[in-house]
Structure 1
Amino acid sequence: MLWHDAWLSLKLKYIIYRLNHMRILAVGFFLGSLAINGFTTLPNVWIYLAVGLFACSMASIFTRFKGFCNFPRIFIFIAVSFSAGLLYTSAVGYRIQAAYLPSTWEGKDIQIEGQVLAIPEFKTGSTRFLFKVKQLLQAPAGITGDNSKVLQGHKIRLNWYRNRPTLHAGERWLLQVRLKRPYGSLNPNTFDYERWLFTQGLVATGYVRASDVNQRLSESPYWWPDRWREKIKTAIAQALPEEATASLLQGLAVAYRTEITDEQWDIMRRTGTSHLLAISGLHIALVASLGFLPVLALWFLFPQLYLRLPVRIAGSVLGVIFACVYALLAGCSLPTQRALIMVVIVLLALMQRQLMALSRILALALLAVLLFDPLASLSASFWLSFAAVALIGLLLNRRHQAKPWQQWLQVQWGLSLALIPLTAVWFGSFSLISPIANLIAIPWVTGSVVPLVLLGVIVLPFSAVWAAELWWLAAQSLQVLFDILTYFSTQTWALWTIPALPWYWLLVSLLGVALWLLPAGMPGRYLSVVCFLPLFVWQAERPQQGEFCLDVLDVGQGLATVVRTAQHNFLFDTGPRFRSGFDSGEAIILPWLQAQGVRSVDAMMISHDDLDHSGGAQAILAALPVQQLWVNTEKQMDLHPTTGLCRAGLTWRWDGVDFTVLHPSDTTQTQSDNDFSCVIRVSNGNQSVLLVADIAQAVERQLIRQFSELKSDVLLVGHHGSKTSSSAEWLQAVEPEIAIVSAGYRNAFGHPHPDVVARYQRAGIALFSTIDSGAIHVDFSPHVAEVKVEAYRREHKKFWNR
């Protein structure tokens, strides 16, 4: 039997092409996996299993009556697939949560054996890496029973600080570590680190302890994909030590983006070209097409092969192999998975000499991606990648009579416009210069840079010199492109930021996309312009005259507080900055301010110089206009041209709200920078808040002597709840109804101290902590007796949150 007859005998068309309800099943499964995102706790899987079984029974009944209306059958097929998607996603979620580190093990030393996953990230002062636990060797002291299954087979995220060796992907290690359950700061409209940990299947985070126990057990296997990824990444770095674009080439070759600078990311963000670093369908298709070259050469040299196996089958098989290898080298991220699945489906269709509708390809890819990773819908790349492919197919279908260059212009313009709502929702901004930038960047990268990078990867095993030359050419080409993008990014209008859109305005903007995609000449098509207006003119709600609101952001072990009046914004402290590179100003405060529609800060006050209070200042000063900066000591006076000293007696009034600085004064004498912290009281005549930083009890007694009127409805707890602050006399003088602690989960200082917590409880004061509440929002009104408090973690909790 000929090879092509053997292939035809597999009847792939009955598996892939003749599934009449593939689109319905894919949509139902997707909706089921998506529905779980609205739950605060994972749903009871047995209920949805019963629903699914009932729907299956009904489907079997209806399908027996061929003359019956299709609508009930379609509805039941959706119900079956919806239940299956919800059930499957819930099961995966339960599996991840069941593997979480036991709470009694947090902060205690354990010994584990496992393997380094992916390429370790080397940073100043630390190495961060993923670790798959093979077995638990030693449980925490005092923990008894059979603990052999704890963490076994699951991934954790580790940092190695002191005496760190050079780690390599695929190595097996014995480590002594200290872990905690997945946790992250939780604020409105900012990156949800807990969600990211959950979608990555990470069941704990922590760090490696300095110990003689730590030892490398074996090198990485020769065949390990991440080992080859790391070798390629290292080879590019060694070949281009002086090239600024070397990190970008690493991203294109093996999806290693750790060394890309903040400036480079900002240029790509402002020009809407960040997607170029995703291993897309164009990259995968380019690699797959290389599989046909050796087949064509061999079949040309040996014509008798045509009688054994058609070129299209041999080339498709080799193309699938090439595409799979490249996907592994690229880290097999979500965009890569989606691109790989679509390319494989197209190649399978080519084997069968059949054309396949794009909608069916998308449906199969959607099902495959969700079966592989049912939590994929929680990521922005899932939505953007599928939306982009669907839009490209739709736009090309509309423009099939146009010339190729006209199609390219129309598709690029249409894609940039149609993706604006999704981009705005996920990132709070969109690039106005993106259509122009991508018209240049996409053909430049896919036609010049990527081929050179891939050729370098292919020749690397044979000649490092030739690989280096190819990468050098790619770097020069990419540098020219980046010079153009840099010019584009410097335009003040390049990036448009918008406040967090309410769901109804998002639906209106999506309706605008649907109207715009209607064929030319259709009535109402140009109403899409009206539907897009909310993206440009909508403003977030602000307090009325005489009102103000307080937001204590969840920045971990630090402090960042925002007071907003009707027309002004006041920022008190800017959160921490860590040696790992995390900057709360850039990662938390700026995205939150942007989501609230804040485009400038009228006054910023840094209470004192400790990094947990001033760490984010530089990022904020660089990104936003700040009209006035107040600091507590002269050593910080060079931070900003308008810097002044906060001193007792300084007052101002905004929109019916008074701001009064109470501390420090020119006569304050102390050796502690904490005791020289700025203290400010904000009041609208009816309600007030007292903002203190890290003052101790000695300063509290001094303020009690100096000011007869300290009473405030809300008190920001001093020094994160340290036992050196919050004396009983202080609480009696302030008489707050509500107290707020800003502290980090399982922080090294034990804040807030149990004695302090007990003191507030005895005084009958409601105590809120960012540890348990996330960001805390308080509304103050001149017409209401009580303040209104909203704890974000409690009121907006999702099932993946602690």
Structure 2
Amino acid sequence: MGAEPLTHLPGTGAEPPARPARVPVLGLATAALLVAGAAGCLALPALPPRWMLLVALIGGAAAWMRGRMAGRLLGAAFAGAALCGLHAMHSLALQLPASLERADVEVSGRVVQLPLHEAQRTRFAFRVDSAETIVPALRGRLLRLAWYDDRGVEADARRMDLAPGSRWAFTVRVRAPRGLRNPGWLDSEKHAMAARVTAAGYVRTRSAVDQVGSAGGMDAWRDAVAGRIDAAVGTDTARYVRALAIGDTRALGDLDWETLRATGLTHLVAISGFHVGMVGGFFALLAGALWWAVPRLGRVLPRPQGAALVALAASTGYAAVAGWELPTVRTVLMIAVVAAARLARRRLHIADALAYAATAVILVGPMAVLSAGFWLSFAGVAWLVWCLPDAREVSMARGLLASQWVATLGLLPLTAALFGQASLAGPLANLVAIPWWSLVVVPLALVGTGLEALHSGAGDWAWRLAAAAFDLSWPLFDRLAASPVALWWLPGPHVLAVPLALLGAFWMLMPRGVPGRALAALLWLPLLWPDRALPADGEAELVVLDVGQGLAVLVRTRTHAVLYDTGPAVPDGFDAGERVVVPALQALGVRRLDAIVVSHGDADHAGGFDAVQRRYAAPVVFAPQWDRVPGASPCLAGSGWRMDGVQFRFVHPDVHFPAFRNPSSCVLRVDTALGAALLPGDIDAVVERLLLHRDADALRADVVVAAHHGSRTSSDPAFVRGSGARHVLVSAGHGNRFGHPHAGVVERWIDAGAWVAGTAEGGALRLRLGAGEARVTPERQRRPRLWDAARRAAAGGGARERAALSYSDD
């Protein structure tokens, strides 16, 4: 009576059937699938419909919570993908409607984050008021704005008054966030979507500009502390102390970042998760000492739980000081998980804390997977947790060496994929920087920040000591960065190269005795030495880079490369040579430039020359004889050279042509065994007719880069007919104020039977003069992104853009 039924006979050896294994709802496996689902969604070329995402979210969440093994894992993946898709859809819906593109609107709101003051402009983030703004589409939205110097002393002084937390009312000209698209890892549109930026634009200083509220809040305090650090340190090292103390990297220039990348120290120079963990650990020790000194506190809350809560509060406050960067958020979440486990009196492993933190990040903000910091921070901790033994079992020196080896090898595939580079000097630099900066420089910087929070000026001595300690180590890193082998730039890898390299790293980090560890290095080959798809002998590839309103064209043969123009640059502002041309050449696997041709000295063609030449040091430079380009030889008509069966020849200007700036541009003709290309710079219709009269055969070409960005003063009808071009490539900025390319010019080329493709619509344009029909491949089509599809849908898919993105399908 009441006896349970026998499920097996005692003594017979028969056992009850095993129950199916279950995967924990919150664990490493489900966290990994949740992250993979979110990343997979953002890799799609377009988002599914909203109803489909909602169904996937509900079904995936149910399977994740109630399923077993495969069902739970698949449910986590579907839930992560659907949640990320809904967030992405909302972020894209926040962007500026097409009806307001390049419109002037009156806004009022607050300056958020830290504005960057430059010589001729100030860049800042602006949160529009929710109620008072006239345009409903901008209420409560985040704008990225610039305030340019209008050459007035009083106006410039007002621009410098733009402080964090201050409130302003002005008129801005706005446009939807749009960036340049080139080979490589830079994608400003991706970052704008992740940050939920509605529009970008600039302040119209000729309209009323009124400050309606003074500075205040955490960002204002950070800005004030940055000023105190500058005053206390008094040397250039102050910019690094600012970065280490409060996460303010505004003063770090391009050369500073070059040095940090070459030495693999970018993860240390700004506030990282380690710094937040250090603050939390320090306050946990202080709390433990307080509980020991005042035993009565233990009656209210046991010491371990009290120390955990104090550590969480301190780390949260410091993450706010650091601007809530992702590595700091990840560390705060891990500390919160540990604190919750302490309060619940449960034992928690580091791997579990990592999984819980990753799950929390995805559930709160799934588009964090767009950030390189997400992958590097979580992957770094995961590698260390999996590979390293208990710290109590090894010496400190051995543990440091082992952790550096694991981090270098384990994160190299991600670093190569995310940044296209590998720091060969990084392991040595980190062996010095990690203990010295983390145990001396950073604590002193943090002590200074903490004392400053208590009393203004109290932390000056600590900041000065931090700067002195930093200066002791920096000369070593500067010399390492100057080494020609410090940084290895890698071409853009195949989609399967990164998983194979991660598998190789996993295999190589297996315990001793596992067979074939040396053979695992072969799995790295697709990442480190990818196929660059170079032209054959007698062939050439043209890549018209997307540099905005300017020009930069790479002409590549089997073993050589020539750069025609270097993109635009403005003083103390955007330098396409540094920001676009050099990274794109590195992503394309260009290890050296055999020649640079500067068509003429205008800033939109020659502005990036110094940055490109600093990186590549081309042995030969050509420019018009009247333009003062350093080390340049004149590009005289009739001169030329031959590479890999491809003939390069200048057809303009001749030695007697006067110095007329645009009309004096170097006109370069590239002849291959299977076609020709013409690069005319900024010549006008008069010069086009002159060249046609002088040597019409020299203008016959299969491919023409439209002169002067498609201006109506160029592309003369006779020149268009005489060239006989099948493809015309236009380099112009999206929505530029000059109206390039002119509609009449585009129509003229189309009527002559040419396909017209523009960088403004398609990004960088690639075309090969080789076997088979020449075809243009826009970068936006070669690597489609879901934000491209959303932008085209919002704009109604203009005819010109549809045409530009469909050329390679013809």
Give TM-score, length-normalised by structure 1. Answer: 0.91
Q: Write out per-residue CA displacement over residues 160-219 of structure 1, whole angstroms, 9 at most, x where no aligned residue.
A: 013224111111211210001111110111411111111111110000001452211112
Shift of 1:498: 2.0
Rounded to whole Å, the distance in 1 between the matches of 2:103 and 2:483 is 52
1:663 aligns with 2:652: yes
Shift of 1:788: 1.9
Shift of 1:446: 1.1
Structure-2 residue corresponding to 1:7: none
Rounded to whole Å, the distance in 2 between the matches of 1:739 and 1:55 is 49
Q: Which of 15, 23, 27 does residue 28 from structure 2 map onto?
A: 23
1:115 aligns with 2:110: yes
1:713 aligns with 2:699: no
1:170 aligns with 2:165: yes
Rounded to whole Å, the distance in 2 between the matches of 1:20 and 1:761 is 60
> Which is worse superposed, 768-777 or 624-633?
624-633
Q: Write out per-residue CA displacement over residues 94-130 of structure 1, whole angstroms, 9 at most, x where no aligned residue.
A: 2122121121212221101111110111111011000
1:396 aligns with 2:384: no
Structure-2 residue corresponding to 1:240: 233
Matches within 5 A, 1:626-637: 626-637=618-629
Structure-1 residue corresponding to 2:445: 453
1:565 aligns with 2:588: no
Q: Which of 230, 235, 242 does residue 223 from structure 2 map onto?
A: 230
Shift of 1:56: 6.0
> Which is worse superposed, 99-108 or 179-188?
99-108
Shift of 1:135: 4.2
Rounded to whole Å, the distance in 2 between the matches of 1:295 and 1:604 is 63
Alpha carbons of 1:677 and 1:361: their partners in 2 closer, same or farther (altered >3 Å)? same
> Which is worse superposed, 300-309 or 95-104?
300-309
Structure-2 residue corresponding to 1:734: 723
Alpha carbons of 1:735 and 1:429: their partners in 2 closer, same or farther (altered >3 Å)? same
1:690 aligns with 2:678: yes
Structure-2 residue corresponding to 1:104: 99
Alpha carbons of 1:448 and 1:85: their partners in 2 closer, same or farther (altered >3 Å)? same
Structure-1 residue corresponding to 2:804: none
Alpha carbons of 1:602 and 1:323: their partners in 2 closer, same or farther (altered >3 Å)? same
1:381 aligns with 2:386: no
Give identity over the alignment, percent: 34
Structure-2 residue corresponding to 1:250: 242
Structure-2 residue corresponding to 1:439: 431
Rounded to whole Å, the distance in 2 between the matches of 1:189 and 1:56 is 36
Rounded to whole Å, the distance in 2 between the matches of 1:545 and 1:589 is 25
Give secondary structure in 1 for the equivalent of 2:696: coil
Q: Which of 661, 672, 675 does residue 663 from structure 2 map onto?
A: 675
Structure-1 residue corresponding to 2:194: 199
Q: Which of 722, 743, 752 does residue 754 from structure 1 map onto?
A: 743
Matches within 5 A, 1:282-293: 282-293=274-285
8 Å CA contact 1:120, 1:169 repeated in 2? yes
Rounded to whole Å, the distance in 1 between the matches of 2:680 and 2:37 is 48
Q: Which of 81, 87, 91 does residue 86 from structure 1 map onto?
A: 81
Give secondary structure in 1 for the equivalent of 2:618: coil
Structure-1 residue corresponding to 2:13: none
Rounded to whole Å, the distance in 2 between the matches of 1:500 and 1:613 is 26
8 Å CA contact 1:607, 1:693 repeated in 2? yes
1:575 aligns with 2:567: yes
Shift of 1:796: 2.2
Rounded to whole Å, the distance in 2 between the matches of 1:463 and 1:628 is 59
Letter of the aligned partner of 2:692 in structure 1?
Answer: I
Shift of 1:79: 2.9
Structure-1 residue corresponding to 2:203: 208
Letter of the aligned partner of 2:282 in structure 1?
Answer: L
Alpha carbons of 1:311 and 1:629: their partners in 2 closer, same or farther (altered >3 Å)? same
Alpha carbons of 1:484 and 1:39: their partners in 2 closer, same or farther (altered >3 Å)? same
Give secondary structure in 2 for the equivalent of 1:482: helix
Q: Which of 522, 528, 534 does residue 520 from structure 2 map onto?
A: 528
Letter of the aligned partner of 1:232 in structure 2?
Answer: V
1:49 aligns with 2:54: yes
Shift of 1:40: 1.9
8 Å CA contact 1:173, 1:217 repeated in 2? yes
8 Å CA contact 1:278, 1:335 repeated in 2? no
1:608 aligns with 2:595: no
Rounded to whole Å, the distance in 1 between the matches of 2:83 and 2:514 is 42
Rounded to whole Å, the distance in 2 between the matches of 1:321 and 1:364 is 19
Letter of the aligned partner of 1:365 in structure 2?
Answer: A
Unpaired runs of at least 5, structure 2? 1-22, 150-154, 792-810
Matches within 5 A, 1:766-777: 766-777=755-766
8 Å CA contact 2:494, 2:530 repeated in 1? no
Letter of the aligned partner of 1:576 in structure 2?
Answer: P
Structure-2 residue corresponding to 1:502: 494
8 Å CA contact 1:26, 1:367 repeated in 2? yes
Shift of 1:381: 1.1
Rounded to whole Å, the distance in 2 between the matches of 1:698 and 1:205 is 38
Shift of 1:156: 0.8
Letter of the aligned partner of 1:702 in structure 2?
Answer: L
Alpha carbons of 1:738 and 1:319: their partners in 2 closer, same or farther (altered >3 Å)? same
Matches within 5 A, 1:612-623: 612-623=604-615
Rounded to whole Å, the distance in 1 between the matches of 2:95 and 2:476 is 47
Structure-1 residue corresponding to 2:257: 265
Shift of 1:355: 2.4
Letter of the aligned partner of 2:481 in structure 1?
Answer: S
Shift of 1:283: 1.1
- Count of aligned residue pairs for this structure pair: 758
Q: Write out per-residue CA displacement over residues 612-641 of structure 1, whole angstroms, 9 at most, x where no aligned residue.
A: 00011101111113121001124425x13x
Rounded to whole Å, the distance in 2 between the matches of 1:138 and 1:307 is 54
Shift of 1:716: 0.8
Shift of 1:47: 1.8
Shift of 1:547: 0.8
Give secondary structure in 1 for the equivalent of 2:68: helix
Shift of 1:461: 4.0
8 Å CA contact 2:168, 2:210 repeated in 1? yes
Rounded to whole Å, the distance in 2 between the matches of 1:776 and 1:674 is 24
1:320 aligns with 2:312: yes
Q: Write out per-residue CA displacement over residues 559-614 of structure 1, whole angstroms, 9 at most, x where no aligned residue.
A: 00011111111110000012352211111111111122211111110000000000
8 Å CA contact 1:190, 1:588 repeated in 2? no
Alpha carbons of 1:461 and 1:356: their partners in 2 closer, same or farther (altered >3 Å)? closer
Q: Write out per-residue CA displacement over residues 676-729 of structure 1, whole angstroms, 9 at most, x where no aligned residue.
A: 001011111431111111111100110011003021111111111111011111
1:597 aligns with 2:584: no
Structure-2 residue corresponding to 1:152: 139
Give the aligned CA root-mean-square deviation in angstroms.
Answer: 2.0
Rounded to whole Å, the distance in 1 between the matches of 2:311 and 2:56 is 42
Rounded to whole Å, the distance in 2 between the matches of 1:59 and 1:361 is 19
Q: Which of 563, 575, 578 does residue 586 from structure 1 map onto?
A: 578
Letter of the aligned partner of 2:77 in structure 1?
Answer: F
1:650 aligns with 2:600: no
Q: Write out per-residue CA displacement over residues 209-259 of structure 1, whole angstroms, 9 at most, x where no aligned residue.
A: 0145221111234xx221221121111112122x22211111112211110
1:77 aligns with 2:66: no
Structure-2 residue corresponding to 1:275: 267
Rounded to whole Å, the distance in 2 between the matches of 1:341 and 1:278 is 19
Give secondary structure in 2 for the equivalent of 1:382: helix
Shift of 1:535: 4.8
Q: Write out per-residue CA displacement over residues 52-82 of structure 1, whole angstroms, 9 at most, x where no aligned residue.
A: 444566678xx6xxxxxxxx72222223322
8 Å CA contact 1:52, 1:79 repeated in 2? no
8 Å CA contact 2:53, 2:83 repeated in 1? no
Structure-2 residue corresponding to 1:5: none
Give secondary structure in 1 for the equivalent of 2:735: coil
Letter of the aligned partner of 1:265 in structure 2?
Answer: W
8 Å CA contact 1:24, 1:74 repeated in 2? no
Unpaired runs of at least 5, structure 1? 1-17, 64-71, 140-146
